[in-house]
Chain A
Amino acid sequence: MVNSKEESTTKKDLLIVGFLCNWCSYGGADTAGVCRFNQPTDLRIIRIPCTGRMDPLFVVKALIYGADGVLVSGCHPKDCHYNEGNFYARRRLEVLKQFLPFMGIHTDRFRYSWVSSSEGRLWQQVVTEFSETIHGLGPNPGVHGESDAKAGMSFYT
């Protein structure tokens, strides 16, 4: 999926939407800030209480409507502030991650990670790596209406 536009897009901001749990990863991102760990500027963070709050459809929504990448991050499994939220999240998000390519969306456009509030350095790494990956993929071609679809023919016939 690395297209020829890659060169010209690396300098531009792409849109990465982040969903961070309040207790761990949002705190981890704060810690990285407090430590002045330099990071790419593409990420826009939405604060949620827990990755258990994360409906996989939020990710799908963002990717269909134009986000170039989506990053979900929460407490390490077994460290969930609410005990169990991230156990549910990891199943749901992993299923989604494996599913996206079937619909033609690159699996690398979505990532989930576990970063605690003390792991500022890890957060910097996650953001940097993910931003680089997304810049490598270039802008999300996205879902748009310009397909050469001619109604009528069934897939099977």
Chain B
Amino acid sequence: MRIGVFICKCGTNIAATVDTEAVARKALEYPDVVYATDYMYTCSEPGQDEIQQAIEEHDLQGVVVAACSPRMHEVTFRRAVEKAGLNRYMFEQANIREHCSWISKDTEANTRKAIDLVRMSVEKLRFNHPLFSSQVPINKRVLVIGGGISGIQAALDCAEGGLDVVMVERESTIGGKMAKLDKTFPTIDCSACILGPKMVDVAQHENIHLYAYSEIESVSGYMGNFKVDIRKKATYVDWDACTGCGLCTEKCPAKKSFDGFNEGLDTTTAINISFPQAIPKRAKIDPKYCWYLTKEKCKICQKICPVDAIRFDMKDETVVEEVGAIIVATGFDLVDHSVYGEYGGGHYPDVITGLQFERLVSASGPYEGHIIRPSDGKEPKNIVFIACVGSRDPSIGRPYCSGICCMYIAKQAILARDHIPDSNCYVFYIDIRAPGKNYEEFVRRAQEDYGVQYIRGRVGKIYPQGEHLIVQGIDTLLGIQVEVEADLVVLATGVAASVGAKELAEKLRISYDEYGFYMESHPKLRPVETNTAGVFLAGVCQGPKDIPASVAQGSAAAAKTQILFSRDTIETDPQIAKVNERMCIGCGKCIDVCPFGSIQWKTLRDGSQKAEVLDTVCQGCGLCNATCPPKAIQLQHCTDDQILAEIEVLCAGERHG
């Protein structure tokens, strides 16, 4: 190999404490080095020109640049050598600035170090091979997991952009948490009125295929070519036939079924449609409550159904969809407030969650919009809201702020004052967090225009007394004990990761934090990407956020998908693991350890099993390489031979003194 070495002075950044000329002179003694020089700014245009000229004049086959960190300019120099006709991987960069000239003022020692660093790079380069990316076609369909507002936004944006969208929703209707809300802060918009049309758009858009009441069974493949098994849970109703007329729900005798949509405030029928605006508007049978499925008698729905859609023998069914990208928008669930024994541990019927209050006050809720107490149906006069229940509380392992509760209880207090003008509303809070647009003003309105009484302090205890609930707390501003005789207590229940979030993350091979929220690729600069290429995040599954932020992230995820799909093929990074089949002993240890599932079995004609790397899935971490006993799997561009060569040349060098 004919190698050229270029030592950058970086103005005085390097030259002030490294004798670059001496380094270049020394480099000429190394094996295969045919040209070496130093230059003022190697990364500048004339600097790059010089490299390119030298490649031509000296017929160089590899280039070492000793300059700043490769994290800074590796891409720049690779491009430069590529322009001169070399393969871009026939390049190595020695870091003699951040790791050398900038961290010591001892010119002699720095020069010796720079000499070593260049020597190592030359030695590594001698084992480099040209590497080539391959092109893999992209399947331009996208899977959206979760049909809440964020998933809806992502799906609609993708579909409008011409992409085929597959949406999977675990409940029988899309809409998510927003569908349960009465109004939204800070505009007091009717939630159903702004969400409803979007849900209808999803149902009617020709590019969107919706799998409701379905879950992700498994995911395989890689960016551009995922294969997803979707389990359609048995609804016991043929949805192709069902028209959503609702006759069955009127006649069903099993009227004590749990009503999840109304947060358990009401009961429903065993065969039911979640709510009138459900999308898809189809009936499903809850097998836990259906008389026929539990006791083998009844079948009334089957008799009454005008289109003969009831299928008691229906089983779960798995369908396979192939997509090129995945948007995860699985949302959240509420923190289980029963851990708070001091607030009744879930045993007082008139201590309710924020979401239950939404159903209470909603015109489509069980009480048709009349705020009444779940226990006796009376109208409450004194309503207490308690902030930070399950948020900012390290004692239950949830130190984070849920971000939305301060705002939603302000809204709920306003709604309560609107509905019951002679009511008193109290809010116990720690701090008010209202950083959004018009948010602070909104909270002020609650306090000033609606007369909601804000008390800064925690509630220590709630206990029933007669018809009332006594709320004991502290007003830390006045430094006094406070006791409120409440008729209704609303806990501003915080945000928890969605049930099953971790299991889904394992299937998708994306990371999650200790609370189960999905990890973005970079907290600031890559907030929508995950560390698994082709999987994007939207909404609260990534961390607590409000509706505008969820919608924005949904659109962002759609944009990322569109960017990915704007090309017809993906260029793979060739710095990945590669198996030498002749040496592979088929022990499967690489397959076991690979964090990305990028290695699979391959059966040769003689029946022997070998490992095989999926080029587009491998991320190039090299864990397999370190694990492989015979080192049959090698990380390209960082092979054992390259690392060993660097070690050997260092150890063989004379120690200077």
Touch test A–B (CB under 8 Å): yes
Interface string of A1-41 (1 = CB under 8 A from B): 00000000001111101000010001101101110111111
In the bound complex, residues from chain B placing their C-beta under 8 Å from that of A48 are 622, 638, 643
Whose C-beta in chain B lies nearest to the C-beta of A56? B626
Contacting residues of chain A (29-63) with chain B, CB-CB under 8 angstroms: 29-30, 32-34, 36-41, 43-50, 52-55, 58, 61-62
At the interface, yes or no: B19 with Cβ under 8 Å from chain A? no
Interface centre among B575, B619, B646, B651 (most CB of A within 10 A): B651
- Determine how close the nearest CB of chain A comes to the CB of B245; give it in whole angstroms: 49
In the bound complex, residues from chain A placing their C-beta under 8 Å from that of B640 are 55
Whose C-beta in chain A lies nearest to the C-beta of B622? A53
Interchain CB contact under 8 A, B109 and A13: yes
Interchain CB contact under 8 A, A55 and B655: no
Residue B595 contacts which of A14, A37, A62, A84 (CB distance < 8 angstroms)? A84
- Determine how close the nearest CB of chain A comes to the CB of B101; give it in whole angstroms: 8
User: CA of A137 to CA of B342 in the docked complex: distance in angstroms?
Assistant: 59
- Determine how close the nearest CB of chain B comes to the CB of A63; give it in whole angstroms: 9
User: CA of A3 to CA of B282 in the docked complex: distance in angstroms?
Assistant: 83
User: CA of A50 to CA of B109 in the docked complex: distance in angstroms?
Assistant: 29
User: CA of A59 to CA of B575 in the docked complex: distance in angstroms?
Assistant: 23
In the bound complex, residues from chain B placing their C-beta under 8 Å from that of A26 are 69, 71
User: CA of A67 to CA of B70 in the docked complex: distance in angstroms?
Assistant: 25
Q: How many residues of A contact B (CB 8 A)?
A: 47
Interchain CB contact under 8 A, B650 and A55: no
- Determine how close the nearest CB of chain B comes to the CB of A44; give it in whole angstroms: 5
Residue A30 contacts which of B98, B120, B621, B648 (CB distance < 8 angstroms)? B98
Interchain CB contact under 8 A, B621 and A49: yes
- Determine how close the nearest CB of chain A comes to the CB of B511; give it in whole angstroms: 5
Interchain CB contact under 8 A, A44 and B120: yes
Interface stretch of the complex, out of B110-118, B165-173, B262-270, B488-496: B110-118
At the interface, yes or no: B102 with Cβ under 8 Å from chain A? yes
Interchain CB contact under 8 A, B638 and A36: no
Given known contacts A49-B635, A62-B647, A29 and B99 CB-to-CB distance under 8 angstroms? yes
Interchain CB contact under 8 A, A33 and B69: yes
In the bound complex, residues from chain B placing their C-beta under 8 Å from that of A84 are 593, 595, 623
User: CA of A33 to CA of B113 in the docked complex: distance in angstroms?
Assistant: 15
At the interface, yes or no: B644 with Cβ under 8 Å from chain A? yes
- Determine how close the nearest CB of chain A comes to the CB of B300; give it in whole angstroms: 52
Interchain CB contact under 8 A, A17 and B647: yes
Given known contacts A49-B620, A52-B623, A81-B531, A41 and B109 CB-to-CB distance under 8 angstroms? yes
Given known contacts A33-B98, A37-B103, A61-B644, A85 and B623 CB-to-CB distance under 8 angstroms? yes
Counting residue pairs across A and B whose Cβ atoms lie within 8 Å, the total is 143
Interface centre among A11, A12, A50, A67 (most CB of B within 10 A): A50
At the interface, yes or no: B104 with Cβ under 8 Å from chain A? yes
At the interface, yes or no: A82 with Cβ under 8 Å from chain B? yes
Q: How large is the interface on B (under 10, 10 to 19, 20 to 34, 35 or more residues)?
A: 35 or more
Whose C-beta in chain A lies nearest to the C-beta of B621? A82
Residue A65 contacts which of B575, B643, B651 (CB distance < 8 angstroms)? B651
At the interface, yes or no: B95 with Cβ under 8 Å from chain A? yes
At the interface, yes or no: B393 with Cβ under 8 Å from chain A? no
Interchain CB contact under 8 A, A14 and B655: yes
At the interface, yes or no: B106 with Cβ under 8 Å from chain A? yes
At the interface, yes or no: B97 with Cβ under 8 Å from chain A? yes
Residue A38 contacts which of B103, B596, B647, B657 (CB distance < 8 angstroms)? B103
Interface string of B328-365 (1 = CB under 8 A from A): 00000000000000000000000000000000000000
Interchain CB contact under 8 A, B110 and A49: no
User: CA of A17 to CA of B116 in the docked complex: distance in angstroms?
Assistant: 11
- Determine how close the nearest CB of chain B comes to the CB of A39; give it in whole angstroms: 4
Interface string of B76-120 (1 = CB under 8 A from A): 000000000000000000010111101111100110110011001
User: CA of A93 to CA of B435 in the docked complex: distance in angstroms?
Assistant: 46
At the interface, yes or no: B625 with Cβ under 8 Å from chain A? yes
Interchain CB contact under 8 A, B620 and A46: no
Residue A58 contacts which of B95, B106, B112, B643 (CB distance < 8 angstroms)? B643
Interchain CB contact under 8 A, B95 and A45: yes
User: CA of A65 to CA of B645 in the docked complex: distance in angstroms?
Assistant: 12
Interchain CB contact under 8 A, B622 and A47: no
- Determine how close the nearest CB of chain A comes to the CB of B634; give it in whole angstroms: 11
In the bound complex, residues from chain A placing their C-beta under 8 Å from that of B120 are 44, 46
At the interface, yes or no: A83 with Cβ under 8 Å from chain B? yes
Interchain CB contact under 8 A, B103 and A47: no
Contacting residues of chain A (94-130) with chain B, CB-CB under 8 angstroms: 124
Interchain CB contact under 8 A, A88 and B623: yes
Residue A13 contacts which of B511, B619, B635, B657 (CB distance < 8 angstroms)? B657
Whose C-beta in chain B lies nearest to the C-beta of A84? B595
In the bound complex, residues from chain A placing their C-beta under 8 Å from that of B437 are none
Residue A46 contacts which of B621, B643, B651 (CB distance < 8 angstroms)? B643
- Determine how close the nearest CB of chain A comes to the CB of B303; give it in whole angstroms: 54
In the bound complex, residues from chain A placing their C-beta under 8 Å from that of B623 are 50, 52-53, 82, 84-85, 88
In the bound complex, residues from chain B placing their C-beta under 8 Å from that of A65 are 647-648, 651-652
Interchain CB contact under 8 A, B103 and A33: yes
At the interface, yes or no: B288 with Cβ under 8 Å from chain A? no
Interface string of B550-570 (1 = CB under 8 A from A): 000000000000000000000
Interchain CB contact under 8 A, A82 and B531: yes
Contacting residues of chain B (608-654) with chain A, CB-CB under 8 angstroms: 619-623, 625-627, 635, 638, 640, 643-644, 646-648, 650-653
Give the 9 A-B residue pairs with the shortest CB-CB distance, closest first.
A33-B98, A53-B622, A52-B623, A82-B621, A65-B651, A41-B109, A12-B657, A66-B651, A33-B102
Interface residues of B (CB under 8 A from A): 69-72, 95, 97-100, 102-106, 109-110, 112-113, 116-117, 120, 509, 511, 531, 575, 593, 595-596, 619-623, 625-627, 635, 638, 640, 643-644, 646-648, 650-653, 655-657
Given A41-B112, A52-B621, 16 extra CB contacts under 8 A = A30-B99, A33-B103, A41-B106, A49-B638, A53-B621, A55-B626, A65-B647, A65-B648, A67-B651, A81-B621, A82-B531, A82-B621, A83-B531, A83-B595, A84-B593, A85-B595
Interface residues of A (CB under 8 A from B): 11-15, 17, 22, 26-27, 29-30, 32-34, 36-41, 43-50, 52-55, 58, 61-62, 65-67, 81-85, 88, 92, 124, 139
Jot down 11 A-B pairs with beta carbons below 8 A, ordered by A: A13-B656, A17-B650, A44-B113, A50-B621, A50-B623, A58-B644, A82-B595, A82-B596, A83-B531, A84-B623, A85-B621
